[in-house]
């Protein structure tokens, strides 16, 4: 999640300001705690359950964590999201080291804008912030990946494109890959 609000509900910009992204000096504990609890603690607890089962079965396996470009770089005005996704990157790399002896491979996909409800909600937030005259002055410097910028419709990645990479990383074809953070970002982190 990118904010602390309920992602199944419409964005409530005025009514949930304490749960929305902001620069560090203005961010609330509620926003920070909710985002980190879902994005980092959630990945930790999920991996812990998966790894307990995989170790017990003794047959190896593969895990793919869902990261973000925000786990590879910064993203203006959203410190909890950036920190939480850097946490996913760290958990992925750490677990790859700890579980290689068990034949368990662990990687992450680090997406840029993908056509999902979370990204649509983030777009609503950015528009509401602009309308209110708020937001990071640095946030507008980079809004698109390379592929989105050169596409006539400026489209984001699709869920299916992201799913294809995830399926590859889970497959035997990726048997020599572990501890990697794949920027499935249309070239976002290339410039």
| pLDDT tens per residue, range 162-178 | 999 999 999 999 999 99
Residue 137: per-residue pLDDT: 57
124-131, long-range: CB < 8 A, 24+ apart: 124/11, 124/13, 125/2, 125/3, 125/11, 125/13, 125/20, 125/21, 128/11, 128/13, 129/13, 129/77
Active-site position among 81, 99, 102, 182: 81
Residue 119: per-residue pLDDT: 66
Domains and CATH numbers, the chain: 17-186 (3.40.50.720)
Question: What's the mean per-residue pLDDT of the chain?
Answer: 88
Residue 191 catalytic?
A: no
Sheet with 181-182, strands from edge to edge, namely 61-68, 104-111, 181-182
Q: Which residues of the chain have pLDDT under 50?
A: none
Predicted structure pTM score: 0.87
Residue 108: per-residue pLDDT: 98
């Amino acid at each position: 999640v990118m904010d602390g609000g309920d992602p199944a509900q419409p964005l409530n910009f005025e009514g949930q300001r304490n749960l929305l992204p902001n620069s560090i000096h203005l961010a609330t504990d509620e926003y920070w705690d909710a985002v980190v609890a879902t994005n980092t603690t959630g990945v930790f607890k999920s991996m812990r359950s998966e790894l307990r089962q995989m170790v017990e079965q003794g047959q190896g396996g593969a895990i793919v964590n869902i990261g973000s470009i925000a786990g590879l770089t910064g993203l203006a005005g959203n410190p909890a999201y950036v920190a939480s996704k850097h946490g996913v990157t760290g958990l992925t790399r750490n677990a790859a080291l700890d579980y290689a002896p068990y034949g368990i491979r662990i990687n992450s996909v680090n997406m840029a804008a993908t056509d999902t409800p979370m990204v649509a909600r983030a777009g609503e937030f950015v528009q509401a912030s602009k309308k209110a005259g708020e937001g990071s002055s640095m946030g507008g410097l980079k809004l698109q990946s390379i592929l989105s910028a050169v596409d006539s419709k400026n489209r984001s990645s699709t869920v299916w494109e992201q799913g294809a990479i995830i399926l590859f990383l889970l497959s035997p074809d990726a048997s020599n890959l572990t501890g990697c953070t794949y920027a499935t970002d249309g070239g976002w982190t290339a410039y």
